[in-house]
A = this chain, B = another copy of it.
C-alpha cells in the first residue's frame, strides 16, 4: 500500500480512502491511485484489515461430513453466497463428533471471525459458551432447535420423517424399520427417529426398538443396517433411512441379496441427492431445499454480522416427500 501511495503521490491514508470511501477522494487522485493499483497488482492485506477492524471476514462453517453430494451442494451454495458478500468461508468437518466440533471452533476462533455456521442443534456446552463469549453471530442449520444459539435456518427433521413413515403406511407398508447414522448427540438423527416413532404410534402400531439400527456414514453402512434389521426382523417390509447415502447402500445390497425393491422390501432415503433419481429403482425420499438452505444461511449470517437482520430466530425452509420407485 505504501508503494501504491508513493507511485500515486499521496499518503497511504488516501489510498485507504480510495478503497473504502472513493466518493471522498478527488476524481483525479482516484484515477492515479487506481492506475497504480493495477500496475502493481495490489491485493489488500486481509490480515492487517482484520486486525484494525477487530474481527476478520473469515466465516467458519462446520459440517459433519463432506462425503455426500447433499452436503457438498449445500457448501457450494453457502460458499458462493458468503464469497459474494466479501467473506471467506472456511469449511471444517466434524465427522459427526460434537467434541471435535468444539476443538475446530476453538481453532477457528483464533482467526477472529464475527460469525459462524454450525450444523444441527446439539453441541457441547463449551461450544455454546465459546460462541457467546466471542459475541459471534451464529447460524445453526439443518435442524430447527427450540432455543437456537442465535438464529436457526433449517427444516423439521421430526416432521419430515414422521411424514415419510406416515406415507409408507398409506402406501400399505406395515412393519417399518428405521436406519440411521451412528453418532453421539446427533439431534437430527434423534428427531428423525422420534418422527418414525410418532408416525407409527399415531397409526396404532407398537414400534419395535429392535427394528432400528445405526451404522457409520457411507454406502456400506446402509448395507450393514439392512442386514442387521432383516436378521432380527425378517418380516420387515420397509426401512426408512435417515440418509440417502445409507438408502442407496441398502438398495444395492438388496440387489446383491436377491431382494426385490419395493416388492420384497421398500426403501426410502432422506435428502434427495443426485444419485437418488438415477439409481434403479429410483429412490423415494425426502427432498431438502439444499441450495436454498445454503443461500439463506449465508444471507442470514451476513445480516446478523452487519446488524441488518431483523427476521425470526427460526427460519423453516420445509421439505417435500418425493415418491419414486423404491416405495
Contact = CB atoms under 8 A, between A and B. Distances in A.
Interface residues of A, number: 49
A296 B220 CA distance: 27
Nearest to A275: B219
A274 B256 CA distance: 16
A55 B54 CA distance: 18
A79 B93 contact: yes
Interface string A40-73: 0101111110110000100000000111010011
A249 interface: yes
A25 interface: no
Oligomer: number of copies: 2
Nearest to A255: B280
Given A72-B72, A249-B278, A275-B219, A43 B109 contact: yes
Nearest to A86: B107
Main secondary structure of the interface of A (DSSP, over half): helix
Contact of A133 (B41, B109, B110, B252): B41
Interface in A73-92: 73, 75-76, 79, 83, 88, 90-92
Given A47-B56, A88-B111, A252-B279, 20 more contacts: A43-B109, A43-B110, A46-B110, A47-B47, A47-B50, A47-B110, A47-B112, A48-B51, A72-B72, A79-B93, A83-B107, A88-B90, A88-B107, A88-B108, A91-B91, A219-B274, A220-B278, A223-B278, A253-B278, A255-B280
30 contacts: A41-B130, A41-B133, A43-B106, A44-B110, A45-B110, A46-B111, A46-B112, A47-B50, A47-B110, A47-B111, A47-B112, A51-B51, A66-B66, A66-B72, A66-B76, A67-B69, A67-B72, A67-B274, A79-B92, A88-B108, A88-B111, A90-B90, A91-B91, A218-B274, A220-B274, A248-B275, A249-B278, A252-B280, A253-B278, A275-B275
